[in-house]
Amino acid sequence: MGVRAWLFLVSMLALAGCAVSGPAPSSAPSFYGTPTRLKPATGSAAVPVETGQIALLLPLSGPNAARGAAMRQAAELALGGSTAGLDVRDTGGTPAGAAAAAGQAISAGARIVLGPLTAAETGAVAPVARRADVPVLAFTSDPAQARPGVWTLGLTPAEQVRRLVVAARSDGRSRFAALLPANEFGRAMREALLAAAASSGAPAPVVRLHEPGMRAMTPVVKELADYAARRGPLDAKLRAARARHDAEGRQEARDLARASVPPPPFDALLLADTGEELDELSSLLAYYDVAAPQVRFLGPALWADPATRAAATRALAGAWYAAPDPDYRAGFVDAYQEKFGATPPGLADLAFDAAAIARVLAQEGRFSNASLTRSNGFAGADGPLALTPDGHVHRGLAIFELKRGGSALVDKAPRTLAAPGT
């Protein structure tokens, strides 16, 4: 994975300094009703009821200071541009700094904590908040940090894969397989696929992990494609026809040479590579006769990055990936640009949503788990989202198809989370 692709992964999945390990939600929850809309506050809605009741923990110093400053602005936007009611604390980007900041904010009267940024910081903040019975809306996407009272707002592999599986099932696909890099991200995608397939009622997927490089990939692709069993009978007939040494045998050999190899034992294949590794992998898949339309290729939200998408499109035009619907984000981007004169960076949307949720709860006068896990969820900067009692966040994502020159939206994100897996 190239540097740019990795930076985009950090931004898209909120993985700055955190892992993607840990269990995925066992099944997609079901919600109903119109989501509570999250938008910039104006007028009487701009200021929470009590000063200091919302704590915002961000790295305002250290390597991530610029990102922290932008996320602070996004949170202020959600509160109408005012810092009244918002207790902003610098974590310094360290677990110890985050724990200290959380303790100070809670002692000062905070009733909800927004942040911190990373998984390690979240792990340090969680026990501090739990002792005080204060909910945490963290910005990490590490599912291992999700627990009752601590919600991880970042876009996780589980959410991407769940959406892809639902879309693939609607496309008539039911036999899933995965060919994933043997790293933390690949293993997270594997666990997500196993959970999503089981939740959808599909047979257990066949999953293979591969090391980088053609030499390591080749036997894994060949074995997953079941190439010997698919190609073997055809080659045997071809050899027999050529051995006849007559006109009929030569004609039969020509017909067999043009015959298609039977499709592989799966009709949807999940991938997670990018860049050169994806190019190499796609060439091997083509060589072993794993191709559309018999197989629908599925991939990560990484493919939404323009540079990464270009490589993916060269390799796998027609593949699908799940990502936030840009139509939802446009309103947040416009409001941020109008207020601050700049385009919001990745993760700013998470800070906006967290602060807007906190504002809604403040206006309702209830910073409770029941208020956070409302059955209708929220309509955030990137679309609908709902918080589940176990600390996971269920999001409505769109499906995009890779095409020459870019990608196309093929299935919009839902406006509500009325059905499991949407």
Reported as a pLDDT band with limits 50, 70 and 90, residue 40 is: low
Confidence check: pLDDT of 324 > 80: yes
Confidence check: pLDDT of 291 > 50: yes
pLDDT recorded at residue 100: 98
Q: Cα separation of 112 and 368, whole Å?
A: 9
Q: Tens of pLDDT along 325-363?
A: 888 888 899 999 999 999 998 899 999 999 999 999 988
Written out in words, the top-level CATH class of the domain with range 31-155+326-391 is alpha beta
Residue range 158-226+264-323 in CATH 3.40.50.300: no
Phi, psi of 232 (to 5 degrees): -55, -50
Mean pLDDT, rounded, for 48-54: 67
Confidence check: pLDDT of 3 > 60: no
Reported as a pLDDT band with limits 50, 70 and 90, residue 235 is: confident
Confidence check: pLDDT of 95 > 70: yes
The model carries a pTM of: 0.81
Q: Cα separation of 37 and 190, whole Å?
A: 33
CATH 3.40.50.2300 segments of the chain:
31-155+326-391, 158-226+264-323
Reported as a pLDDT band with limits 50, 70 and 90, residue 242 is: confident
